[in-house]
Every structure is written in C-alpha cells, then in structure tokens.
Amino acid sequence: MKYFLTIVSLFLVLQLQAQKQFNASITYARKTVFENKADSIKYVKMNYGTDIMDMIMQPVKEKYLVKDDSVLINYYYRSKEILKEMRLSTKGRLQIIDMVSGSTYDSKDWSYNKYKRFKSYKRIESEDETILGRKCTAWVSKRKKGWRKVWLTDVDGVLPKTKDAEIFINNQLVLKQVTFINNYQQREKLAVAIEVLPEVNFAEMIKKNTEADIKWKYEPITENNELNDNKIKVGETAPDVYYREVLENGTKHLYESTQKSKYTMLEFWGTWCMPCLAATPKIKALRDKFDIDQLSIISLNSRDKIEAKVKKVIKRKEMNWQHGYATDKLISIFNDNRTFPRVILIDQNNKVLLIGNPHKEIEKIEQIINGELGKL
C-alpha cells in the first residue's frame, strides 16, 4: 500500500510539472464610483491628509505581470499615465517599490480576510459574464458594511501561488472585481487585456524604473546618530536635527533657525505629492507676511529621486525659503505616520506648538505668530 501511494504521489507531481505555467500580462482598468455627490464629499473629508494622494491620483490602470511564482504589479496614475508604483508579490512577501525614491519596503495587505477566503463567497449565477472572450462565474462575499463581487475564470496553466496579488481566488483568475465599501463607495477593477508575457527580468525592470541620483541625500547624518527615533508631540522640545541642503552643498541644523527667528516652521513635502504642491501658495503667502526674525520656513523634501526636478520645482513655484532633504531619522521624529504635506511649528525655545496639515493649519499658524491665540 505504501509503495502504491508513493507511485501515485510521484505521478501527481510529474503531472503538475508537466502542466504549463500561466505566464501573462493582464491589464485592469480602475475606477471609484459614489452613490451621489454627498458621498464623494464625505470620502474627501474622511481621507483628507491621509489618503489624499489616492483620492486625487487614483490609478487609471493596473498592469499585472505574472511569471512563475511572482507577480509584478504596475500602478499607472491619471497624470499622463506615469508609472507611479510597483508591487512585487512572491510566495512569502508583498513588497512596494517606490518609483519616486527607488526604495523598497514590505507592505501589509489591508484587504479583509473574509474576502481572501473562497469559502466566504456565494454563487450568483444571474450575474455571470463573458469577459475578454472567457466565461466568468460571479460570486459575492458580504460583510457588515459592504461586499465584494468577483468574476472568476479558469485558465490554461498553473497559477502562481503568490502573496496578496488580489487576482487569484480558488486557483482561478479574477477578471472583474467590484467592492462596495462602507455603504457609499464602490471600487471597480475590470480586465481589459490579457497578453502573452515575453521573456522579462523583473529585477532589471525594477532597477531601470527606480534609478535615482539623489538617494544618498536621504542617508543618515552623523550628527543625528545620538537622537532617538521617538515621535515628537505638541508641547515637547524639538531636538536639534541636522539636514542636508538642497540649494547649497552643506548641512544645517534646526537650532540655527530657532535662534534667529521667533518661530520656525518645518514642512515635509515632495514633488510627487499633489497636495504638497497645492499647499505651496499658502506657505508662500505666509512667508510674504512675516519677516525672517518672526518666521523661518524649512521645507524638507522626501522620497524624490531626481535632484534637478526638485530644484526646478522650487524655482518655478518661487519657494523662497530654506530647503533640505528629510532623512528617515527626521521623518521618524516629526512625521512618523508619513503624511504629506506636514507642517510643524516650533518657537524660539524649541517647543513644538503645532503639528498638522498646512491646508488646515496655515491660518492657525498665522494667528499664533500674531499673538491672537494667546500663550500656548
């Protein structure tokens, strides 16, 4: 009996190996739909300052490159369909490759576990569709404040067993997915093309798209080594952090500004950040209202990769104040949740008076400088 089971197991392994691996390029169109205008405004208010980048620049399409046991996901945003982000899904991990900085970091999967388990889905035959010439069966999984529908189809070949690629369920390919969230927002993803994937080296492709000439500007600075990474809070004393200058070849430190100005404002921004660029006119207006002895402004650039682009934006938008690069140490201390844009107001005693989004806080900062809010 044991010999028989061994033969059967070997036969199954050989049969699996003989099957053709599913290697393909799949392009999905993306869109977000709201029930009405009030719901879209609700979404904006809920996500302002945290998911605002996704709100303004949601992917116009996603391209999945499926190869053996890996899936490379390309996210193209509305702005001229520029490749904004890559995600590499393999057996053991899901990584995000930032197209701006070239950095790679592990990502958590935020999908509801229920939506990953095929047992939670129920058949809805009335909604079966033919997509890209393939017959798809419709399924739905419900939760308290929403649901997800998927349209599945069989493929010729073995699908890769990747982590959280979100296009495989029950060893079938997802050609359409509709998710209804919090009873007012509907996200749709529809396959619009399936093509044969030519020989491609994922590592070379990632390297080509993440080449940077200012990566070293964000590397640790020796003078900051003794500082801890604790997140600063309002009312605490800001440490004397050092930063590399953008427009000059040197380093400066925070207390240089706090010693000569009554108030110093730090801004965390990037040329890739639409809300940051939208906040620049407000910061510029603030700069024009106060002399340097009243207010210093230091904009700390984050996650860019081309130095010429950073300098070009600073010049074009007339950002006439100090500029530096934000290392991980600075971000950990002043912008731990990595929300952009971010401003921190510090007084002459290095006390943190305010932390927030410039779109919301510029008026309050002006009132503090004018002494209209009293002593904080």
Assign 3-class secondary structure to the chain.
CHHHHHHHHHHHHHHHHHCCECCEEEEEEEEEEECCHHHHHHHHHHHCCCCHHHHHCCEEEEEEEEECCEEEEEEEECHHHCEEEEEEECCCCEEEEECCCCCEEECCCCCCHHHHCHHHCEECHHHCEEECCEEEEEEEEEECCEEEEEEEECCCCECCCCCCCCCEECCEEEEEEEEEECCCEEEEEEEEEEEECCCCCHHHHHHHHCCCCCHHHHCCCHHHCCCCCCCCCCCCECCCCEEEECCCCCEEEHHHHHCCCCEEEEEEECCCCHHHHHHHHHHHHHHHHCCCCCEEEEEEECCCCCHHHHHHHHHHCCCCCEEEECCHHHHHHHCCCCCCCEEEEEECCCEEEEEECHHHHHHHHHHHHCCCCCCC
- Residue 224 is predicted with a pLDDT of 96
pTM (2 d.p.): 0.64
CATH 3.40.30.10 fits 215-369, yes or no: yes
- Residue 104 is predicted with a pLDDT of 78
- Residue 251 is predicted with a pLDDT of 96
Q: Do domains 20-209 and 215-369 have the same CATH topology?
A: no
- Residue 57 is predicted with a pLDDT of 55
- Residue 107 is predicted with a pLDDT of 82
The CATH code belonging to domain 20-209 is 2.50.20
For the chain, give every domain's residue range.
20-209, 215-369
Tens place of pLDDT per residue across the chain (376 aa): 555 545 545 544 444 455 688 999 999 998 887 766 666 666 555 544 344 444 455 678 999 999 999 999 998 876 556 677 899 999 989 998 877 666 677 887 777 788 889 999 999 999 999 999 999 999 999 988 889 999 999 998 999 989 888 899 999 999 999 999 876 778 899 999 999 998 889 989 888 877 878 888 999 999 999 999 899 999 999 999 999 999 998 999 999 999 999 999 999 999 888 889 889 999 999 999 999 999 999 999 998 888 998 999 999 999 999 999 999 999 999 998 888 999 999 999 999 999 999 999 999 999 999 988 754 4
